[in-house]
Structure 1
C-alpha cells in the first residue's frame, strides 16, 4: 500500500478565539498523562461512487469547512502547548489537515488480517512527537481509496485530551459536516477548576519522538473476541454477571503473565493499570463532554509465584474497577483530599513501572465511545482502529462494528508476540481479522 499526500494546510477556527480565552490552563490530570499523541482511524465505504467522496475532500470541501466551524467550539485544539507554563496558547495557529490518495481499494486493506504498521501511513504524526511548542495538538489526514472509500485519521495530543475528548470532537465534527449545525455540541472547559495544575510529572512511558528511535522492536496486532467467544467466557464464570470487557481483560492479562513466565523461567509479580473515565462518576457528576483528561487509574496486582485461574483474574479485575468507581464519588470532595484518589495510583504506577522485577501492563478501554456514530455524510464507519505504537504490554480495547464483540489492540515487544499468539486462551477465543 502506498499513500500519496495531495495537500497539507493549517485549518483555523472559523471564528477567531477571543483574547479572554487565549490562555487555557491544563489540569493536574492533564499533567499526569504520558507525552504522546493518541491515534484513531475511522473507515468509510464508498457511497454513491467516487462523486460523494470528491465533494467531501475537494478544495472547497465539506470536511474542511465543518472542521473550521467545530474548532470554534473546541478552540484549544487549534493552539499550541507551552510546557514551561503548562498551558495551551489558544493562538488559532491551526490544526494540520492533509488530504491523501491511497493506491488500493478499501476492502483490500480490510479484507485480510490487518497489518498494523501499514495503518500508520493513514495518520501524519509520530506517536511520540508531542509537547513541544512546534507540535500541533491535532493532525487530521483524510485518505481516499481507489474505490471511493475514505479513512479519516485523527491524531490528538494526549496532553490536552483523552479518548472521551476525541470522541466528543469527532462526533461534533461529523454532526456539523452532515447537518451544518453545531448547536448540540457544548464542550465544558472546567477541568482545571476542579483539578488545578500542581506541576506533577507525567507517566514515564519514555516514548521516543520517532518510532525509528525506539530502543526495542515493537509489534502490534489486533485480536478480536466476538459475541460467541464472550458468551463462552461468561459461561465459564460463576457468581454475578461480569462485563464483556472484564472477561476479555482477564484472558489477555492471563496470557501476558504466561508470556512473562516463559521469558524468565519463573513466575514474577505482575501489575496492571486500567484507566477509568471520571465523567459521570464523581459527585456532583462532571459533564459528559468535559474537555481534557478526566481519568484515574484502577490498579491490580498478582504476586510473584501466585497461581491464578481464569476466574481469579475475572474477580481481581472486577473488584479493582468496582472499588475505584466507588472511590471516584469522593474525587471532588472539599472535606477530604479528593485529588489523592487520582494522584496516588499514578504515583504507585510510576514507582512500579521502573521496577525491573515487575511485569507492568496497561489496559485502556475505548469501548462505548460513539466512534461508530460519526457520519460525515457518507454514512457511518464500517470499522475503527488505532495504529502500531512503540509500547510494551499495552492493550487498547475497542468495540467491534456490531457493538457485541471487543477488538483488542495488543502492543508488545516483537520477541513476545509469537509467545502471546501461542497462549491457549488466545488460540481458543480470539480471531485475527476484521
Structure 2
C-alpha cells in the first residue's frame, strides 16, 4: 500500500455563515504582520479512531454557526488592496473516502508525506488568488470507521494561534456548547498594512519538489534524558530549579544536528541565524487578548559567528542556554511594541526582513523554529472523542522545524522541512538517531 493510498472526494460544497456579515464589516484590512506571512495555508490533520456517530450535517451546521464570529474566513482575499472582501462566499467543505483502514495508514504515516497531503482539502500553496477559499475542510472517512479532519486556513490573514482558537470554537459548537469564542480584530488598526513587497523567501504557488519533510518523535524518555543533561548548568546559570522545557531541549537537538550537517556539506561552519517564533498575545503592555484574530507573532533571533557556531554545536547545554536567552529577550521586547511603535516596527518588521535576506547569503545558515505544541490539538472533540493523532503535512519552507505535542502531552513530534540533498545527512546524525530511533 505504501505510496498508493487513494483518497476520493465524493462531495464538495461551500458552507456559508449562518447569518450575513454586517455591511460595516464588509472589508477586513490585513495587518503588516499578516503581509509578512508566506503564501501558504496554516494546516492541521486530526485523526479519530471511531466516528460511527459522526453527523456530517451537524459538522456543517456548527461550522456555519461559528463563521460569523470569524467572518473573514468566509470571504476572499483581495491581493490588490491587501484586504479580505467579506462577501460570505463561504468555507469549502469536502467529504472523501480513503481506501484503507486507519491502522494501516498509521503504519506508513512517517514515511509517505504524500499520503498526508491527500487528506487536506487544498494544496498548501493555493492562497492569495481571488477564488481561493480562506478556509477549507476535508472529512476523510477510513474503511474502519475512523476519520481524519484536514483543515486549511490562509496564513495571509491568521497565525497558528488564531487557527487553534477557530478549531476550538468549531468543536465546541459541534458538541452543543452554548457560548462561542469571539475574537477581536484590533490588529490592523495597531499595525496597518504597508503594501510590503514579497519576502526574499516568498513561496511560489507551484510547490517546490526539492523541499522534503520527515517527522521525528521525541518521547518522554528521550526528553527526560535531554533535560537531565541540561539541569546542572541551567540551575547554575539561571538560579532556577525549574528544568528546561521540552521545546528548548528538542529545538536545541534539532538545530545542532542541522548545523553539523551543514558543516558536512560545506566543509566549514557558517554564520548561524536561528529564528524562533513567539506568540505576542498577552505579552504586550497593555496585554492583547489571547483570542485576538490575525498574526500576532514575532521572532527572536540568535546569531552566532563561525567560531561561535563551532563552539555551541558540540556543547548541548551552552546551545540550549543561548536559544533560551534569545527567546527570553524576544518575549521581553514584546512588552514595548505597543507603547513604542518605532521599536515595534523594528522588532516585528525590519528584523524579519533582515533575517529573510540572509537566507540567500552563502555565508549564513538560517534556521526557523515554530512551536505549535501549546495550541490544544488533542482537546479538539467534535462529538466523537478526542483525536488519537494530530499531524502536519508537507510545508514548503526550507530549514524549518515545526513542533507539535504528542498525545500523552509528554513528548514532542518535530516536523522537519529541508532541501532533499540535506535530509539524508541530517537524519543520520548520531545523536538524533539515538534519541528518536
Q: TM-score range by the shorter chain?
A: over 0.9
Q: Deviations over 1:299-342 (max 9, x none)?
A: 11221243221122101100100001011001110576433221
2:346 match: 340
Change in CA separation of 1:335 and 1:68 when aligned onto 2, cut-off 3 Å: closer
State yes or no: 1:300 paired with 2:302: yes
SS in 2 for 1:122: coil
Q: Contact 2:97/2:141 (CA < 8 Å) preserved in 1? A: yes
Cα deviation for residue 154 of structure 1 reads 0.5
Give the whole-Å Cα distance in 1 for the aligned partners of 2:30 and 2:331. 23
Relative distance call for 1:2 and 1:278 in structure 2 (3 A) is same
Alpha-carbon distance between aligned partners in 1 of 2:109 and 2:75, rounded to the nearest angstrom: 38
Most deviating of 66-75 and 340-349: 340-349
Partner of 1:408, secondary structure, is: strand
Cα RMSD, aligned residues only? 1.5
Match of 1:40 in 2: 44
- Say if 2:401 and 2:416, in contact at 8 Å, map to a contact too: yes
The reply on whether 1:119 has 2:125 as its aligned counterpart is no
Are positions 1:23 and 2:27 aligned together? yes
Report Cα offsets for 1:367-396 as digits up to 9, x if no partner: 110111111000111110110122321111
Residue by residue, what CA displacement relative to the aligned partner does 1:34-59 show, whole Å, maximum 9, x if unpaired? 11112210111114xx3x13xx22xx
1:220-239 residue CA offsets vs partner (Å, 9 max, x unmatched):
11101111111100111122
Q: Name 1:70's counterpart in structure 2.
A: 66
Within a 5 Å distance, the mapping from 1:180-219 to structure 2 comes to 181=178, 183-211=179-207, 214=208, 216-219=209-212
Contact 2:248 2:320 (C-alpha < 8 Å) held by counterparts: yes
Partner of residue 351 from structure 1, selected from 335, 339, 357: 357
Aligned partner of 1:429 in structure 2 is: 435
Gaps of 5+ in 1: none
Q: Does 1:363 align with 2:369?
A: yes
Distance in 2, matches of 1:98 and 1:206, equals 28
TM-score normalised by length of structure 2: 0.93
State which of 270, 277, 282 in structure 1 corresponds to 2:272. 270
CA contact (8 A) 1:170 1:374 kept: yes
Structure 2 counterpart of 1:152 = 149
Are the counterparts in 2 of residues 33 and 202 from structure 1 also a CA contact under 8 Å? no
* 2:319 corresponds to 1:323: no
SS state at 1:361 partner: strand
Match of 2:234 in 1: 239
Question: CA distance change for structure 1 residues 113 and 97 in 2, over 3 Å: closer, same or farther?
Answer: closer
Contact 2:201–2:356, Cα closer than 8 Å, also in 1:
no
Q: Which residue number in structure 2 is paired with residue 403 of structure 1?
A: 409
Aligned 8 A contact 1:298 1:345 in 2 = no
2:378 aligns with: 372
The aligned residue for residue 416 of structure 1 is 422
The within-5 A match list for 1:154-169 is 154-169=151-166
SS in 2 for 1:236: helix
Corresponding residue for residue 87 of structure 1: 83
Preserved contact between residue 139 and residue 150 of structure 2 (Cα < 8 Å): yes
Partners in 2 of 1:160 and 1:410 — Cα distance? 24
Q: Secondary structure at the match of 2:322?
A: helix
Aligned residues: 419
Distance (Å, rounded) in 2 between the aligned partners of 1:245 and 1:381? 22
Unaligned runs of 5+ in 2: 236-242
- Bigger mean CA offset, 420-429 vs 202-211: 202-211
State the match for 1:14 in structure 2: 18
1:200 and 1:113 map into 2 onto residues whose CA distance is: 38
